[in-house]
Structure 1
Amino acid sequence: MSGNVQLLSEALAAARAENRAALIAYLPAGFPTVDGGIAAVRAVFDGGADIVEVGLPHSDPVLDGPVIQTADDIALRGGVKIADVMRTVREAHEATGKPVLVMTYWNPIDRYGVERFTAELAEAGGAGCILPDLPVEESGGWREHADKHGLATVFVVAPSSKDARIATITEAGSGFVYAASLMGVTGTRESVGAQAKDLVRRTRATTELPVCVGLGVSNARQAAEVAAFADGVIVGSAFVKRLLDAPDQEAGLTAVRDLAADLADGVRRGRAGA
């Protein structure tokens, strides 16, 4: 099976053809429950997300802020397994036909087995993986299996990355490049700032891949700000917080659907005046 990396590329190209950034949402698998997590992914797609990243909950999520850590903890206490992550990908993709990636730290894949993980993700219809803590120099084995199964490998660049380092990272990646808008952990911010714009400029100088910006975007105004210069806007903590704050599951699903619709409007406004 070839996987759905082509679907990912098509979703990003379709947004570009509409002169807008793509909206990419992040939600952890197994939160608030496995079924609830699947319903949440479908809800953000219903609201207008183009692509969803499904997080593989981890006990030590070093790049994630308190909101996502709280959700991961709930998922892990609920007994979430890699099989549940694959089921989330499969059911969300089958229900919507849209691209679904997995975002995970390297350790769970290493323990599970790279060949097994890539084969199962491709079979589930997954478009690829975002691997924030896998050094490019150590990624050869992963990329070989990912390529075999038609999966994208998305690497992360940061404002601290030197230009030569960015070039090394983008040369090894596929699908898109994840540009972390600021130094630090995930979470909502008052301003996404000029660092992100400069990072996108420097990253584009090294690659033809779309450059998508994450970390800190939580509302339509910020989404529009980032959409003015990026190929995609990635939002995670704001969705997770809506689910955490909701009094029940239905209210949570409504909240994330409404936020997706608001953000989808934001990414469309981003270049309207440009």
Structure 2
Amino acid sequence: MSSIDQLFSDLRSKNKKALMPFLTAGDPDIATTGAIIRAIGDAGADLCEVGVPYSDPIADGPVIQASYQRALDRKFKLQEIFEMGSELKSEVATPLVTMVSYAIIYRVGLAKYIAQAKAAGYAGAIVPDLLVEEAAEMSKICAGEDFSLIQLVTPTTTRDRQVRIAELSSGFLYYVSVTGITGERTALPTDLVDNVGWLREQTELPICIGFGISSAETAKQLAPVADGLIVGSALVRRIAAAETQDAKVQAAATFVKELRVAIDE
């Protein structure tokens, strides 16, 4: 059983939902990223998604695009994520996954990327641009390494395609709540509950909702629907707005604590 499988098993036994913050690696620097991961784990995060900066954003809104660009402008290198993971794995119990473009994985080599990530303590990878038609090879490698391959389902994904994506995924399914790019929203689609309910009948994988979760109140509203909630832009924006490393760490921890309280109510 992977650490992500164990996490959701434990949460289900406690009737709790996973809180899964996203942050950009290397924004403003990798040391601050590591400090934030430590702090949000203590603040109540169950799993942390670490975004790998990429020059060609896939579904990222302006807040995350800007964070990626800041990291790239500071000459971020992929190796920094692996080095950070290696440092954190003996200190942090919270599972870590990378959110990474398939183009990066393909350039490194599928087996090599998975081996490096796993050796650095990562439990899986979210690959938002991996087409289901091309996912079988990576799915097979991940299964052999007990490394979760987390894929996205969107509101416009046809239902037969959703089933195929679920069959080639592991760890959990990332359900995109809205059509469009990442970002904070004040309202979410009215058919979200029905769509997630249908998907839940098709797979045993946990279903975690991301895109558009802007506040503790939004998280509280969605908690009954999902197995986990993913919060990205709202957290990245708070980190960017703080001026010092200590302030960035504190801002992230405070927001995660607010989210934890909201979804546990």
Q: Which moved more, 1:104-113 or 1:142-151?
A: 142-151
Q: What is the aligned-residue RMSD (CA, Å)?
A: 1.3
| Number of residue pairs aligned between Structure 1 and Structure 2 | 265
Q: Paired residue for 2:2?
A: 6
Q: Which amino acid aligns with 1:71?
A: S
| Cα distance in structure 1, aligned partners of 2:117 and 2:60 | 23
Match of 1:247 in 2: 243
CA contact (8 A) 2:45 2:94 kept: no
Q: Which residue of 1 aligns with 2:198?
A: 202
Q: Deviations over 1:73-100 (max 9, x none)?
A: 1111111111111123333333212210
Task: Note if 1:264 corresponds to 2:260.
Answer: yes
Q: 2:218 aligns with which of 219, 222, 227?
A: 222
Q: Following superposition of structure 1 onto structure 2, how do residues 91-240 of structure 1 map, counting pairs within 5 Å? A: 91-240=87-236
Whether contact under 8 Å (1:182, 1:195) holds in the other structure is no
User: Is residue 2:77 matched to residue 1:85?
Assistant: no
Contact 1:179 1:196 in 2 (8 A): no
Secondary structure in 2 matching 1:94 = coil
Structure-2-length-normalised TM-score: 0.96
Counterpart AA for 2:158 = K
Q: How far apart, in 1, do the equivalents of 2:192 and 2:82 lie?
A: 32
Report SS of the residue matched to 1:8: helix
Residues 7 and 127, structure 1, Cα contact 8 Å, conserved in 2: yes
Separation (CA, whole Å) in 1 of partners of 2:152 and 2:41: 24
CA 1:219 to 1:92, structure 2 compared with 1: closer, same or farther past 3 Å? farther
2:65 matches 1:69:
yes
SS in 1 for 2:15: coil
Shift of 1:167: 0.8
Question: What residue ranges of structure 2 are gaps of 5+ in the alignment?
Answer: none
Residue number in structure 2 paired with 1:272: none
Flag structure 1 segments of 5+ consecutive residues without an equivalent. 270-274
Structure 2 distance, partners of 1:42, 1:142, is 30
How far did 1:119 drift?
0.6
> Residues 39 and 253 of structure 2 are in contact (CA less than 8 Å); yes or no, is this contact kept in structure 1?
yes
Deviations 1:80-134 (A, max 9, x none): 1111111233333332122100111111111111121011111111111111110
Deviation at 1:144, TM superposition (A): 2.4
Q: Say whether the 8 Å CA contact 2:98–2:122 is kept in structure 1.
A: yes
Amino acid at match of 1:169: I
Q: Which moved more, 1:194-203 or 1:21-30?
A: 194-203
Map of 2:27 onto structure 1:
31
SS of 2:251's partner is helix
Equivalent-residue separation in structure 2 for 1:192 and 1:42 (angstroms): 31
d(CA) in 2 for partners of 1:219 and 1:266? 9
Which moves more between the two structures, 158-167 or 189-198?
189-198
Query: 191-200 vs 254-263, which deviates more?
Result: 191-200
